[in-house]
Amino acid sequence: MTVEQIVAQVTSSSSHPNRVTFVQLRDKRLSREQSLHLGKVLRHITAQANVAFVVNDDIQLAALLQADGVHLGQEDESVSVARHVLGNDAIVGVSADCEQQIDVAIAHGADYVGVGPVFATSSKADAGDAIGEYRLRQLVEYTRSRIPVVAIGGIDATNASLCKRAGADGVAVISAIMRNENPQHAAYHLSSIMNAPNVAPLT
Ligand SMILES: Cc1ncc(COP(=O)(O)OP(=O)(O)O)c(N)n1
Ligand SMILES: Cc1nc(C(=O)O)sc1CCOP(=O)(O)O
Ligand SMILES: [Mg+2]
């Protein structure tokens, strides 16, 4: 299955309570031309499905694609540049792996923080050591609902509930969906775990 087919599947059926709510374009192997081509297709699919579409790292590409926003790491451009280029309504996410980075992201007007890697991942070589669900819980508690916390890194159907119990507002996944033989089922399963009511908090 192609990336385009997977994204079409996991965003389809607007009435489904457990479809994905966010798609991020992130493929560091692609040339700019390839990213632009894929991005145009994903922008079209997500717009039809009314699902948020953000671009990783590249603010100019996000602008070109009329994406809903951009995700910025600590080594990427700043939130203020993103706001300048994309406007105040754009979704701007920032990676943060400690309290200070969370405070800075909030002070600079980030819309959410991506926190990880929660578990070991093979999708990002420079992700660093897994922080685990208890450190995730600490960072969620530190954030105190000022902005949503999205957990990332090594998350799949076997451990997503730990992220939910740690208080994460959402999970971002690559391999659990993109490498699953049934991506739509994988996405629905993960979403159903995150949408489950009354889950006991981690103690
Ligand atoms: C939701 C989300 N959280 C974190 C990241 C990682 O961003 P970054 O630290 O810039 O690393 P790269 O993805 O650029 O390798 C993310 N992309 N999305
Ligand atoms: C893109 C990314 N960022 C991370 C971080 O910790 O900031 S971990 C990661 C890779 C997530 O892929 P998978 O779901 O396959 O583990
Ligand atoms: Mg980045």
Q: Is 124 a catalytic residue?
A: yes
Confirm if 46 and 7 have CB atoms less than 8 A apart. Answer: yes
> Is residue 202 scored above 80 in pLDDT?
yes
Task: Give the helix/strand (H/E) hosting 172.
Answer: strand 170-172
**Tokens representing residue 151 in the block:** 């957990």
The ipTM, to two decimals, is 0.99
> Stretch 19-44: mean pLDDT, rounded?
97
Q: For residue 156, which atom of ligand 2 is closest to its CA? A: 14
Per residue in 104-146, pLDDT (tens digit) is: 999 999 999 999 999 999 999 999 999 999 999 999 999 999 9
Q: What share of the chain is helix, strand, coil (3-state, %, to 5)?
A: 40, 15, 45
Q: What's the pLDDT band for 24 if we cut at 50, 70, 90?
A: very high
pLDDT of residue 166: 98
Per residue in 2-20, pLDDT (tens digit) is: 999 999 999 987 667 788 9
Q: For residue 114, which atom of ligand 1 is closest to its CA? A: 3
Judge if the beta carbon of residue 43 lies within 6 A of ligand 1. Answer: no
pLDDT of residue 19: 84
pLDDT of residue 13: 73
Q: Is 26 a catalytic residue?
A: yes
Q: Is 31 a catalytic residue?
A: no
Answering whether pTM is above 0.80, one says yes
Catalytic, out of 26, 83, 135, 165: 26
- CB neighbour class for 144 (10 Å; exposed up to 12, middle 13-18, buried from 19): exposed
Q: Which residue has the tokens 């922008």?
A: 43
Per residue in 79-106, pLDDT (tens digit) is: 999 999 999 999 999 999 999 999 999 9
Domain boundaries in the chain?
3-195
CATH node for 3-195: 3.20.20.70
Catalytic, out of 43, 95, 164, 191: 95
- CB neighbour class for 155 (10 Å; exposed up to 12, middle 13-18, buried from 19): buried
> Stretch 50-78: mean pLDDT, rounded?
98
Catalytic, out of 124, 135, 161, 175: 124
Q: What is the mean pLDDT of the chain?
A: 96
Q: For residue 124, which atom of ligand 1 is closest to its CA? A: 15
